[in-house]
């Protein structure tokens, strides 16, 4: 069988962004299950206006999987039963403010592919974009929670073995062509410290990221520069800044995402949002301050 045809315009993700505005297309409100005490959608509006940063809300959408014994799935705030309420709230904001986009972030796992495809097909015209990310190498065993990651490393015998599984799923995510954008492509490195990077140079420059870039270019999938790494020992974006000029030269298209879960996350990242916007637009070398 040949490659799956590209069924939709993934560059629709840019369609609402105002000229001369920077963008941050990965912002979480209190609709996300891991952020129930966080800010509302409306709480971000004054900051977006003040800094002239177009915001894309990408709250975590959670499926209730009947084949997975996880009672929390049925209690998530943003799910199949509440997504229309989410749309109604965000669409009212979009009617007033032109610098807001609506999106969702999905946790991709291969066994969920059919259900993800069905849902995104049904709702694609009602959202501005969909982001897919890999958060698990085994169902319900998150690699973005340190204790879980350590347990997986113990189970598989090494961090590199977990890395192999992670990148295989990343490849499946891109090949599925379900999403407009792949989120934080090397987020599995978030707990790696500078000392560990010095002792293991391959962690600072994993060529598999460039391979993901080639696949993104081929499938016209957009890659996110995710700034949440600055909040963790990694202290770099995902992907690492060392990759960016290589990936841009490959023809990869990018969006910027702060992955903010609070107003403080957002304001602390304003300079980084500006800087990465300029880098991906090819303007950074000619800009002395931002």
CA dist., res. 26 & res. 40, Å (int): 14
| Residue 9 domain-assigned (yes or no) | no
Q: What is the CA 15 to chain-centroid distance, rounded?
A: 18
Number of domains in the chain: 1
- If we measure between CA atoms, which residue out of 59, 55, 45 comes closest to residue 25? 55
Residues of the chain with pLDDT under 50: 1-2, 66-69, 286-290
Is residue 190 in some structural domain? yes
User: Quick check: is 168 in a domain?
Assistant: yes
User: Does residue 10 fall inside a structural domain?
Assistant: no
Q: Is residue 29 part of a domain?
A: yes
Q: Is residue 5, in this structure, part of any structural domain at all?
A: no
Structure confidence at residue 7 (pLDDT) = 66
Do 247 and 239 contact (CB within 8 A), yes or no? yes
Contacts of 36 (CB under 8 A, 6+ apart): 30, 77
Strand blocks (E) in 108-208: 129-133, 136-138, 141-142, 181-182
271-289, pLDDT tens digit by residue? 999 999 999 988 765 444 4
How far apart are alpha carbons 290 and 288 in whole angstroms?
A: 7
Q: What is the pLDDT of residue 62?
A: 86
Whole-number pLDDT of residue 242: 86
Q: Is residue 163 part of a domain?
A: yes
Residue 139 lies in a domain: yes
Domain that holds residue 151: 22-284
**For position 145, which CATH number holds?**
3.20.20.140
In the block, residue with structure tokens 């598999």:
208
What is residue 64's predicted lDDT score, i.e. its pLDDT? 61
Q: Answer yes or no: are the C-beta atoms of 232 and 184 closer than 8 Å.
A: no
**Is 263:47 a contact under the CB 8 Å cutoff?**
yes
Q: Which long-range contacts (CB under 8 A, 24 or more apart) does 157-164 make?
A: 162/137, 162/188, 163/188, 163/206
């Amino acid at each position: 069988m040949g490659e799956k045809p590209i069924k939709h315009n993934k560059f629709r993700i840019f369609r609402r962004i105002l000229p001369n505005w920077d963008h941050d297309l990965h912002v979480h409100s209190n609709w996300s299950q891991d952020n129930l005490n966080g800010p509302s959608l409306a709480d971000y509006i004054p900051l977006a206006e003040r800094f002239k940063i177009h915001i894309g809300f990408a709250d975590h959408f959670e499926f209730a999987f009947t084949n997975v014994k996880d009672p929390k799935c049925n209690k998530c705030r943003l799910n199949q039963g509440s997504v229309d309420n989410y749309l109604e709230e965000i669409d009212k904001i979009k009617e007033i403010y032109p610098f807001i986009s609506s999106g969702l972030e999905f946790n991709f796992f291969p066994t969920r592919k059919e259900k993800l495809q069905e849902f995104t097909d049904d709702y694609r015209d009602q959202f501005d974009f969909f982001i897919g990310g890999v958060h698990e190498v085994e169902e319900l065993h998150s690699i973005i929670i340190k204790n879980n990651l350590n347990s997986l490393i113990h189970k598989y015998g090494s961090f590199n073995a977990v890395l192999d599984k992670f990148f295989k799923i990343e490849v499946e995510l891109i090949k599925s062509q379900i999403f407009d954008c792949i989120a934080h492509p090397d987020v599995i490195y978030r707990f790696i410290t500078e000392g560990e990077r010095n002792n293991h140079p391959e962690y600072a420059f994993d060529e598999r990221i460039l391979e993901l870039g080639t696949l993104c270019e081929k499938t016209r999938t957009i890659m996110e520069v995710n700034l949440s790494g600055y909040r963790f020992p990694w202290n770099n974006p995902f992907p690492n800044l060392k990759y960016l000029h290589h990936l841009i030269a490959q023809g990869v298209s990018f969006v910027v995402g702060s992955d903010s879960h609070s107003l403080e996350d957002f304001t602390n990242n304003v300079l980084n949002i500006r800087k990465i916007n300029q880098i991906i637009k090819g303007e950074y070398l000619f800009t002395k301050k931002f």
